[in-house]
Amino acid sequence: MLVLAAALLSLAAAVDVARAADTPADKTQPAGASSLNPRDRGKYMLIVGSCNDCHTADFAAKNGNVPERDWLKGSALGFAGPWGTTYAPNLRLTLAKLTEPQWVRYAKDLKTRPPMPWFNLSQWTEHDLRAFYRYVRSLGPPGDPAPAFVPFGAPAPQPSVQWPAPPK
């Protein structure tokens, strides 16, 4: 009985393999994201992590239609709130000052002012942080720094998004 069951199971497995071999690759779907090479995985994490929304000038305003050569160079659009006015820095410059292991530590320990979602970045796996580093370092010339943080009450270069204090 057991032998028969085992034989049936392996027959079923063989049929599955044959079916899989018959199925043409679905060209509309990206390859499994985890099977991407590190650079492509890093790019994928950047896109699904929404980093461009703030760290690339005009990215959201242009519905993402910003050429890759301009990605992550920082933005001069300020985020003004009770914390002062912050600017999403040029991440090409930030990463150029760090080695890959230093970046992993930096991202894991990072705590910033709003609206940077550092609490999401710190949950990335080391594998994904390393992939992100390789991708960002492969981008072209780093460009210039974004404007520096402006303390609360001091005049900030315009324009900036005004952020209200959270409800009590």
Site for ligand HEC, rule CB under 6 A:
49-51, 53-55, 79, 86, 88-89, 91, 94, 110, 112-113, 115-117, 121, 149
Q: In the complex, what is the shortest distance from the CB of residue 11 to ligand HEC, in angstroms, rounded to a whole number?
A: 47
Q: Which is nearer to ligand HEC, 41 or 55 (CB)?
A: 55
Q: Which is nearer to ligand HEC, 10 or 123 (CB)?
A: 123
Q: Which is nearer to ligand HEC, 73 or 86 (CB)?
A: 86
Contact 112, 94 (CB under 8 A): no
Neighbours of 9 (CB within 10 A): 10
Q: In the complex, what is the shortest distance from the CB of residue 32 to ligand HEC, in angstroms, rounded to a whole number?
A: 21
Q: How far apart are CA 25 and CA 47, in angstroms?
A: 24
Longest dimension (CA), the chain: 83
Q: In the complex, what is the shortest distance from the CB of residue 128 to ligand HEC, in angstroms, rounded to a whole number?
A: 10
Q: In the complex, what is the shortest distance from the CB of residue 20 to ligand HEC, in angstroms, rounded to a whole number?
A: 35
In this structure, the strands spanning 78-81 and 84-86 are antiparallel
Q: Which is nearer to ligand HEC, 17 or 149 (CB)?
A: 149
Contact 100, 136 (CB under 8 A): no
Q: Which is nearer to ligand HEC, 13 or 96 (CB)?
A: 96
Q: In the complex, what is the shortest distance from the CB of residue 132 to ligand HEC, in angstroms, rounded to a whole number?
A: 6
Beta strands in the chain (DSSP E): 78-81, 84-86, 160-162
Bridge partner list, 81: 84
Contact 78, 157 (CB under 8 A): yes
Closest to 74 (Cα-Cα) out of 132, 135, 146: 146
